[in-house]
Amino acid sequence: MDRPSVQRQIEAWYNAALPRLRESSTADALELARSKFLARNTGWRAQILADFAQLDRDSKKELGGYLNQVKDDLEELYERKKAELGTTRAAWIPPADRTMPARHLWRGSTHPVTRVIDEIADIFCELGFTIALGPQVETEWYNFGALNFPPDHPAMDMHDTLYVRDDVLLRTHTSPVQIRTLQRFPPPIRILAPGDVFRRDFFDASHAPMFAQIEGLCVDEGISFVDLKAMLSNFARRFFGAARTRFRPSYFPFTEPSAEMDVECQLCKGVGCGVCKGTGWTEILGSGMVHPSVLEAAGVDSERYTGWAFGMGPARIAMQRYDIPDIRLLYDSDIRFLEQVAE
């Protein structure tokens, strides 16, 4: 690279750039010319600077002033044109209407029942549980038979259960997920199965034909009622804080022995109110030691393994927590209601 050839390049640059900048009649055309002739990293200017950098010291000294002059001239021309075109452009672009109301910013939030499910899942996942899911349409065997329901159990009646076909139905609880999990995975098992269930109930203040449940299952060697009590008490402490809890004997075909767990009514703090029907307690879950015939139905050796399980209704827990008097509010999707409980 020698001095005369760089000088010729600078002249050519000037001669090409000058008319293009001068004759640009729109802001876009001007910008195009700028990127071709004046951009620092690409195009003519960059090339010339690169070549200039290769010259020897004396040539740089002689040519430096000229190069700067040309660059300043072109840049000045560009700035002048920009100011000129900027004003003509503003004249024909309609100005923004500053009186127009701003767009409403909708902030979404999770449904109270979803939030309760998420929080419960977080607690159990910390305790080593994994989330498991099952189908909402089940066979009679998964929903009842494998869970040790006797063939004449009233839950299997058309009046209580929504049948799709003869022995196919909308699951009435999440307990069939216990069977599906035990069939697929060998113990040790610790799962939490949230999901929607369906029953032929009237839609009133405390019943809905579709609602959420959370099933829990733990199966391993040497699992006893002590594990059930410890886990569920630990959960209640984490979820409800200092509130007292109690276990009551109960009955489910798929557990033996069975227990229901109550927590001190959150609304009256155990004194007794309309929501807890004056008892001071609310039932939050059913639980028990998995019945040996359930383990056997799922192909698990009940001589070797034992387990405990529970099922709870997150809607009821949400109603307690957010002081919701009517379960139907949870289904209305009324934003005025949801905004009150949004966090």
Q: How far is the CB of 255 from ligand DAH (least distance, A)?
A: 4
**Helix, strand, coil percent values for the chain (each to nearest 5):** 45, 20, 35
Told to check if 211 binds ligand DAH by CB under 6 A, we report no
Q: How far is the CB of 215 from ligand DAH (least distance, A)?
A: 5
**Span from 8-16, 86-94, 285-293, 331-339 in contact with ligand DAH (CB under 6 A):** 285-293
CB-nearer residue toward ligand DAH: 194 or 288:
288
**Span from 14-22, 45-53, 308-316, 326-334 in contact with ligand DAH (CB under 6 A):** 308-316
169: nearest Cα among 135, 137, 147, 196 = 137
- Would you state the structure tokens that stand for residue 22, as one six-digit string? 């001068």
Told to check if 310 binds ligand DAH by CB under 6 A, we report yes
- What are the φ and ψ backbone dihedral angles of 251, each rounded to 5 degrees? -140, 130
Give how many residues touch ligand DAH by CB under 6 A.
11
Pick the binder of ligand DAH from 148, 161, 255, 282 (CB under 6 A): 255
- What are the φ and ψ backbone dihedral angles of 94, each rounded to 5 degrees? -60, 135
Q: What angle do CA 215, 240, 323 make, to 5 degrees?
A: 95
Please, which of residues 311-330 interact with ligand DAH by CB under 6 A?
311
Pick the binder of ligand DAH from 134, 187, 195, 286 (CB under 6 A): 286
- What are the φ and ψ backbone dihedral angles of 281, each rounded to 5 degrees? -130, 150
* Contact string (CB under 6 A) for ligand DAH, positions 153-192, x = contact: --------------------x-x-----------------
**Span from 43-51, 87-95, 263-271, 281-289 in contact with ligand DAH (CB under 6 A):** 281-289
Told to check if 252 binds ligand DAH by CB under 6 A, we report yes
- How many angstroms separate the Cα of 243 from the Cα of each of 201, 265, 314, 315, 316? 31, 8, 17, 19, 16
**Span from 28-36, 63-71, 229-237, 307-315 in contact with ligand DAH (CB under 6 A):** 307-315
Cis peptide before 150 (omega within 30 of 0): no
Task: Please tell me the distance from the alpha carbon of residue 48 to that of residue 50, in angstroms, as a whole number.
Answer: 5
217: nearest Cα among 174, 259, 246 = 174
Query: Which residues form the interface with ligand DAH (CB under 6 A)?
Result: 173, 175, 215, 252, 255, 286-288, 309-311
